[in-house]
């Protein structure tokens, strides 16, 4: 009977026998080795906390979503911590539903109930809860790898790589409040129980661990709406272990797969219990009959594989030997894939897209950056060399597994392929989250854990090989052999990779700032709004800013980044901003908001605003609404009557500009531009001078037919030029430009000739707040 041996993910070299220690006291645990491991873990945890708390120097939260959740928590705190069905300051006159999984709020509510008597606010807990889960990830990886490898060193390496992973820190840093930062510890616990079920020898324990795995899996469904990715890891793990168990005719392994697959019904039931209780307010992925698309093939496959191997005598033509079984498996997989594509292709193709299997639905997929596929620069920034170490770790495991202590085995290249459930489950974890990461940048936190696990194994393998080489040759022997030099070189490369990862994470920690330019000036403006506007005021703002209006100013926003992703309102507002006419009908359609928030930050979001407005032709958008900053300004006086402003840009397409003014004729102003290496300048249609001290401005027009339809803007204070930019044809005459630049306390050209007007009532270096008047002139 063929039976594949089960090996651990790693085994350290044989250790020196420790003297017996009496059981039952603290001294039993306080061996020198355990103290050293504990001290190393403390250092790693402290390092992880340090790298996750760099943004505590900022006020508020990392991104707009956090401010929305803060508004929900404030509403809950006012009503005995019952999460409201609708957030009364999200949307008007109809309010938007709070549809997040309630566990996303419970992670703050329950700690607050315990810590509130000690003066701890839910605001503080929300800012610090993500690093707490980051520490849980670090500790969870250590214990998981330590348990299944019996190696403290490997466990410490895994914990270290998670501690310094920028991908993991992206969702577990202070100020971040996202469900995907809270979920990974539940995945680790589920994996632990799955592997314990595979290792258990008696049926009772197999069932016990399988049910425990699904209790944890079911519980985690209420934490984050994207939690069903865990179910995919679970199912894919069973598929892979079942396939391997069938080829190797491992009946114990196949029986465990059947048990784990049957137990998955418990997770499905718990998910529906949460839905019935209102803890899950929306149907999650895999809570509908779509669950059966993945579940039934897994169940049928596991049962069939176990039955065929258990009754090999009856099905000898299918189970004769490993080669025959591999051929049968290959044929079944091909047929299953074809059927899945034909019957469920459109559904399967939506996985990892906005509104797909894992990601939350969004009406703003066109401009949400986190749903875009990652670039190599992003991957490098998230994982540095770990992204290269992870596949190396998988290869090292397959080649060496628990043979690292046997150099003779390695020297003579007697390699075989070492596979077991531990490896296959972690590999499934890597593949599923890697697929998600390949589709959208938002999943780097999920991907970071399996990457860290396999990276740790890569470093562990090289370290153990070097350790045994030194033991074999003697510590005081001069190293001269090419093989020894190669080992030292490999170790040096690994150390350099680790130090590089550490350095990049350190730089990230220093340079991290809140997203969407949530800065002190913006929050200062929101504080002013809270103190100087009616409590029931309604506000129009760009949708990410709307969440800050709700969370920090405690005022009602027409749209926001979570519940208020109203595609119609957002597209309409984008067109309103880019329109060169007042477009007052939009304000009426938006139910006559009373205040409007405009920010200079919007210039960096022009591309996204144009996309949401429906302008998808990139060339047209650049020509009409382009915005390029000149980074160099040089002022000369080529003649007694002429002043020249020479402009240059350090970014593609490397525009150069020149503006000539006549000191004897103030209206005699002309500007011209060129791009790239060209020295041929073309006149532009408009030149704008803007006084940043008084908000006064003047536009000079050049009416010759050959003038390019662009505007050169020069910003100045007193007699000094402070900045310059090149605008597309429409942007300087749009509502966008009027509201972000041209309007002042004394006057605002918006709405001239209509029955709607605006008055700026607050301004700082980041934000302008306007009062909107209907059927009357602004005072």
Q: 147: helix, coil or strand?
A: helix
User: For residue 469, what pLDDT band results from cuts at 50, 70 and 90?
Assistant: low
The token duo for 490 is 């490999």
Do the Cβ atoms of 105 and 141 come closer than 8 Å?
A: no
**Is 486 domain-assigned?**
no
Distance CA 709, CA 336 (A): 59
C-alpha count within 13 angstroms, C-beta hemisphere, residue 171: 25
Domain count, the chain: 3
Among 186, 190, 225, 188, residue whose Cα is nearest residue 105: 225
**Is 511 domain-assigned?**
no
Residue 696's φ and ψ, nearest 5 degrees, are -80, 150
Higher pLDDT, 615 or 700: 700
206 and 257, same domain (yes or no): yes
Q: 324: helix, coil or strand?
A: helix
Report the first-to-last Cα separation within the chain, whole angstroms.
Answer: 93
**Is 537 domain-assigned?**
yes
468 and 589, same domain (yes or no): no
pLDDT of 220 strictly over 60: yes
Range of the domain at 161: 27-52+99-473
431 and 553, same domain (yes or no): no
pLDDT of 462 strictly over 90: no
pLDDT of 489 strictly over 60: yes
Higher pLDDT, 357 or 75: 75
Number of Cβ within 10 Å of residue 465's Cβ equals 19
pLDDT of 99 strictly over 50: yes
pLDDT given for residue 619 in this prediction:
83
pLDDT tens-digit readout, 629-669: 999 999 988 887 788 999 999 888 899 999 999 888 888 99
DSSP per-residue string spanning 332-376: HHHHHHHHHHHHHHHHHTTTTSTTSSSSPP-TTTTT-GGGSPPPH
**Is 85 domain-assigned?**
no
Distance CA 570, CA 576 (A): 10
Do the Cβ atoms of 761 and 605 come closer than 8 Å?
A: no
Higher pLDDT, 481 or 362: 481
Cα separations in angstroms, 421 against 250, 395, 418:
11, 16, 11
- DSSP annotation of 263 reads H
272 and 419, same domain (yes or no): yes
pLDDT tens-digit readout, 577-603: 999 999 999 999 999 999 999 999 999
Q: Which residues contact 223 (CB under 8 A, 6 or more apart)?
A: 101, 103, 104, 107, 179, 182, 183, 186
| Percent over 90 (pLDDT), the chain | 63
User: For residue 761, what pLDDT band results from cuts at 50, 70 and 90?
Assistant: very high
Cα separations in angstroms, 769 against 64, 508, 761:
18, 33, 6
pLDDT of 372 strictly over 70: yes
The token duo for 471 is 């033991």
Q: Which residues pair with 686 in a beta bridge?
A: 701, 711
Residue 147's φ and ψ, nearest 5 degrees, are -65, -45
pLDDT tens-digit readout, 6-61: 444 444 444 444 555 455 555 556 688 889 999 999 999 999 999 999 999 999 99
pLDDT of 180 strictly over 60: yes
596 and 632, same domain (yes or no): no
Among 601, 538, 557, 607, residue whose Cα is nearest residue 739: 601
- DSSP annotation of 466 reads H
Do the Cβ atoms of 154 and 393 come closer than 8 Å?
A: no
| Percent over 70 (pLDDT), the chain | 88
260 and 299, same domain (yes or no): yes
705 and 592, same domain (yes or no): no
Do the Cβ atoms of 181 and 198 come closer than 8 Å?
A: no
**Is 20 domain-assigned?**
no
Q: Which residue has the tokens 């003047």?
A: 698
pLDDT of 362 strictly over 70: no
**Is 749 domain-assigned?**
yes
pLDDT given for residue 303 in this prediction:
96
pLDDT given for residue 140 in this prediction:
97
Which of these ranges, 471-475, 525-529, 740-744, has the smallest mean pLDDT?
471-475
Distance CA 507, CA 502 (A): 9
The token duo for 208 is 């016990």
Q: Which residues pair with 667 in a beta bridge?
A: none
Residue 196's φ and ψ, nearest 5 degrees, are -65, -35
DSSP per-residue string spanning 88-118: TTBSSSSPEE--S-THHHHHHHHHHHHHGGG
568 and 635, same domain (yes or no): no
712 and 753, same domain (yes or no): no
Q: Which residue has the tokens 């970071």?
A: 448
Residue 743's φ and ψ, nearest 5 degrees, are -70, 145
605 and 638, same domain (yes or no): no
Distance CA 62, CA 123 (A): 13
pLDDT given for residue 675 in this prediction:
87
pLDDT of 407 strictly over 80: no
Do the Cβ atoms of 763 and 599 come closer than 8 Å?
A: no
Helical pair 386-400 and 482-511, crossing angle rounded to 10 deg:
140
**Is 180 domain-assigned?**
yes
Number of Cβ within 10 Å of residue 288's Cβ equals 10
Identify the CATH number of the domain in which residue 555 sits: 3.40.50.12610
**Is 497 domain-assigned?**
no
**Greatest extent of the chain over all pairs of C-alpha atoms, in Å:** 106
User: For residue 323, what pLDDT band results from cuts at 50, 70 and 90?
Assistant: confident
Picking from 452, 473, 494, the residue at the C-terminal end of a domain is 473
pLDDT given for residue 9 in this prediction:
45
The token duo for 582 is 């007042």
542 and 441, same domain (yes or no): no
pLDDT given for residue 370 in this prediction:
78
167 and 295, same domain (yes or no): yes
pLDDT of 253 strictly over 50: yes
Greatest mean pLDDT among 325-329, 341-345, 408-412: 325-329
């Amino acid at each position: 009977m063929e039976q594949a041996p089960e090996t651990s993910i790693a085994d350290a070299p044989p250790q020196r026998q420790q003297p017996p220690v009496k059981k039952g006291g603290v001294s039993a645990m306080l061996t020198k080795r355990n103290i050293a491991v504990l001290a190393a873990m403390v250092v790693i945890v402290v390092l992880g906390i340090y790298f996750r708390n760099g943004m505590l120097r900022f006020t508020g939260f990392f991104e707009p979503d956090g401010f929305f959740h803060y508004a929900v928590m404030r509403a809950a705190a006012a009503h005995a911590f019952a999460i409201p069905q609708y957030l009364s300051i999200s949307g008007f006159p109809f309010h938007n539903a709070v549809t997040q999984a309630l566990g996303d709020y419970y992670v703050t509510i329950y700690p607050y109930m315990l810590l509130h008597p000690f003066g701890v606010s839910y605001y503080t807990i929300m800012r610090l809860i993500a690093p707490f889960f980051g520490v849980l990830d670090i500790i969870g990886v250590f214990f998981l790898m330590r348990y299944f490898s019996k190696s403290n060193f490997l466990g410490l390496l895994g914990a270290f790589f998670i501690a310094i992973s920028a991908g993991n820190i992206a969702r577990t840093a202070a100020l971040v409040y996202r469900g995907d930062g809270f979920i990974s510890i539940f995945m680790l616990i589920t994996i632990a129980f799955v592997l314990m079920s595979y290792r258990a020898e008696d049926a009772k324990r197999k069932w016990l661990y399988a049910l425990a795995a699904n209790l944890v899996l079911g519980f985690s469904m209420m934490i984050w709406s994207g939690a069903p990715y865990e179910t995919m890891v679970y199912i894919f793990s069973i598929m892979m272990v079942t396939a391997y168990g069938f080829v190797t005719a491992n009946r114990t392994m196949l029986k465990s797969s059947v048990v784990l697959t049957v137990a998955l019904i418990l997770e499905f039931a718990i998910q529906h219990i949460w839905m019935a209780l209102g803890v899950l307010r929306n149907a999650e992925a895999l809570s509908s009959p779509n669950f059966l698309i993945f579940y039934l093939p897994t169940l049928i496959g596991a049962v069939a594989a176990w039955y065929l191997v258990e009754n090999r005598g009856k099905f000898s033509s299918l189970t004769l030997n490993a080669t025959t079984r591999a051929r049968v498996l290959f044929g079944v997989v091909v047929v299953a894939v074809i059927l899945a594509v034909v019957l469920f292709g459109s559904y399967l193709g939506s996985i990892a897209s906005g509104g797909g299997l894992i990601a939350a639905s969004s009406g703003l997929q066109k401009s949400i950056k986190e749903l875009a596929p990652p670039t190599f620069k992003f991957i490098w920034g998230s994982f540095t060399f770990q992204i290269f170490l992870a596949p190396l770790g998988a290869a090292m495991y397959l080649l060496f597994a628990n043979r690292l202590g046997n150099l003779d085995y390695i020297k003579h290249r007697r390699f075989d392929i070492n596979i077991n459930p531990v490896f296959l489950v972690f590999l499934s974890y890597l593949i599923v989250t890697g697929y998600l990461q390949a589709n959208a940048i938002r999943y780097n936190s999920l991907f970071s854990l399996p990457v860290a696990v396999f990276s740790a194994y890569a470093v562990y393998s090289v370290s153990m090989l070097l350790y045994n080489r030194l033991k074999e040759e003697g510590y005081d022997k001069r190293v001269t052999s090419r093989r020894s030099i190669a080992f030292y070189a490999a170790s040096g490369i690994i150390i350099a990779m680790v130090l590089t990862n550490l350095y990049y994470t350190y730089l990230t920690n220093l340079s991290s700032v809140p997203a969407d330019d949530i800065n002190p000036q913006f929050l200062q403006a929101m504080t002013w709004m809270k103190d100087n506007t009616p409590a029931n005021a309604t506000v129009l703002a760009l949708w990410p800013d709307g969440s800050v209006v709700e969370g920090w100013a405690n005022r009602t926003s027409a749209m926001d980044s979570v519940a208020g992703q109203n595609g119609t309102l957002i597209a309409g507002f984008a067109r309103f901003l880019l329109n060169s006419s007042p477009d007052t009908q939009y304000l009426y359609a938006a139910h006559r908001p009373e205040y409007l928030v405009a920010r200079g930050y919007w210039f960096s979001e022009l591309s996204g605003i144009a996309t949401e407005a429906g302008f998808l032709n990139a060339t047209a958008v650049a020509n009409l609404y382009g915005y390029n900053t000149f980074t160099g300004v040089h002022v000369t006086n080529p003649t007694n009557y002429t002043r020249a402003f020479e402009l240059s840009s350090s970014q593609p397409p490397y525009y150069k500009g020149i503006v000539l003014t006549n000191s004897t004729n103030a209206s005699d102003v002309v500007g011209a531009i060129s791009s790239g290496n060209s020295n041929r300048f073309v006149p532009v249609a408009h030149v704008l001078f803007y006084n940043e001290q008084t908000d006064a401005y003047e536009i000079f027009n050049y009416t010759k037919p050959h003038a390019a339809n662009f505007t050169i803007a020069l910003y100045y204070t007193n007699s000094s030029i402070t900045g310059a930019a090149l605008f597309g044809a429409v942007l300087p005459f749009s509502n966008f430009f009027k509201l972000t630049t041209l309007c002042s306390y004394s006057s605002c050209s918006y709405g001239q000739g209509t029955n709607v007007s605006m008055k700026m009532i607050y301004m700082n270096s980041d934000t302008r707040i306007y009062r909107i008047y209907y059927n009357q002139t602004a005072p």
